[in-house]
Structure 1
Amino acid sequence: MVASVSPTGRCRQRYVDGCRLVAGCIPYRYNNSCDTCNGDSQGRLEVLMVTPHRGEGFLFPKGGWETNETQEAAACREALEEAGVSGVIMNCLGSWEFTSKSCQDEHGLQRKVYMYLLHVTEELDSWPEDAVRERKWVPVTEAMGLCKNEWMREALVKFTDCLEGGDTLCSSPVSGDDSASDSLSHVSDEQPSEQPACEETVPAPAGILSDNAASDDEAPSCTTEENTSSSSD
């Protein structure tokens, strides 16, 4: 897989009731080579976290959900752009609302994020945002301490419950027409989705990566410029 250039801008961003809609995921793998696997044939469960575009700490890949893609495809795209990984996207863990700590756009600082599981099958050596982000595989217990926000910790709890069989939302990969959240009812007046959700690999072709996506990290303040490309870190 060849990494594409990370798109910028907000022309195609979705907004509902003043909230910018965001999609993200918790990428995970089973590491068979770790020192603490203790003979576990499945390996140690690890999740992938990335540094913010600005500021310190770690978070999970996420960013604006565009009007020309499904929610699942947006989560896959963000994983590729921010963390350089692709894989099997699973059903939605849920949605959370938060206040962005960075760029305020014309709709304000409110965000609503929909988080998915992503079972990683490919990890790129270079990716669109590798110059501005670091990535780190960590066990779930360490990730819980690294999470910058309470909603991320709640999503991680849902993630572990799902993998342990306590949540039926995790039963199968998402198909192109399915949605595991209530998001579609919230955006019925939006432009219909034109891109299928990914099932086995991230939808990386340039046709899917438009020129108007934007990241949505939560990092220290930045300057908002009208009609210019920007990141809502």
Structure 2
Amino acid sequence: MRTTGRAAPMRKIADGTIDPGHESRTPGEPIRIQYAALPHRISQAGSLDIMLITSRDTGRWVLPKGWPMRGKTAPEAAAREAYEEAGIIGQADAAPVGSYHYRKRRRRGTSVLCRVEVFPLDVLDELQRWPEKRQRKRSWFSSEDAAALVDEAELKTLILTAQDAILRAFDREVTAPAG
């Protein structure tokens, strides 16, 4: 994410471990924190659709994500990234549905290990114009197809497990008595 007119936000560093099936972590290597939106909608058939976007550098299918932002909570930062990268407006859950790890490649050929906290984002509107429209593609997929399209094993699992939690929450919301 690009910021203009103010100082760059601080990068949060996590002290944690990663799953064994993960790219190796050098002893003492910091893990940077990012926040992602898991944009979703309920289809006419009652199943869950997930929006993915392409990355700018490789064109892989990914979630909208970015670094923490000064003055914004984690869910607010995730929603902001969804707007900038995917052109969607939505309501992010206050709690993450999970997290995954990946290596972010840098321009000078190095990489940094990132833990991405993922916040479900109920999509309310899809814009025709947005900041990164010319740099990315966006598309809706079934949960199963979205999970199959992303590269990170942890993210595949997260999408499939989030599907159940999101649909349960939707069912509770629909069947709740009017207040």
- Normalising by the residue count of structure 1, what TM-score does the alignment of the two structures yield? 0.59
Q: Give the Cα separation in 1 of the matches to 2:149 and 2:10.
A: 28
Mind listing any 5+ residue stretches in structure 2 that lack a counterpart? 16-29, 174-179
Which residue pairs with 1:76 in the alignment?
79
Aligned length: 153
Q: Given that residues 20 and 111 in structure 1 are in contact (C-alpha distance below 8 angstroms), is that contact kept between their aligned partners in structure 2?
A: yes
Q: Which amino acid aligns with 2:86?
A: A
Query: Cα RMSD over matched residues?
Result: 2.7
Which residue pairs with 2:97 in the alignment?
93
Which of 22, 27, 39 matches 1:27? 39
TM-aligned CA distance change 1:53 to 1:13, over 3 Å: farther
Q: Give the Cα separation in 1 of the matches to 2:154 and 2:111.
A: 19
Q: Given that residues 102 and 152 in structure 2 are in contact (C-alpha distance below 8 angstroms), is that contact kept between their aligned partners in structure 1?
A: no
Q: Give the Cα separation in 2 of the matches to 1:118 and 1:81.
A: 14
SS of the aligned residue for 1:109 comes to strand
Q: Give the Cα separation in 2 of the matches to 1:82 and 1:15.
A: 21
Q: Given that residues 13 and 20 in structure 1 are in contact (C-alpha distance below 8 angstroms), is that contact kept between their aligned partners in structure 2?
A: no
Mind listing any 5+ residue stretches in structure 1 that lack a counterpart? 1-5, 33-39, 173-233
Which structure has more relative contact order (CA 8 Å, sep 6+)? It is 1
Q: Are 2:115 and 1:112 equivalent residues in the alignment?
A: yes
SS of the aligned residue for 1:92 comes to coil
Q: Give the Cα separation in 1 of the matches to 2:43 and 2:164.
A: 19
Matched ranges for 1:1-233 at <5 A: 7-8=2-3, 11-16=8-13, 17=15, 18-32=30-44, 40=45, 42=46, 44-90=47-93, 91-100=95-104, 102-103=105-106, 109-165=112-168
TM-aligned CA distance change 1:86 to 1:148, over 3 Å: same
- Normalising by the residue count of structure 2, what TM-score does the alignment of the two structures yield? 0.75
User: Which structure has greater helix proportion?
Assistant: 2
| CA displacement 1:132-153 (0-9 Å, x = unmatched) | 0000011111111101211211
Q: Given that residues 12 and 68 in structure 1 are in contact (C-alpha distance below 8 angstroms), is that contact kept between their aligned partners in structure 2?
A: no
| CA displacement 1:180-213 (0-9 Å, x = unmatched) | xxxxxxxxxxxxxxxxxxxxxxxxxxxxxxxxxx
Q: Give the Cα separation in 1 of the matches to 2:143 and 2:60.
A: 16
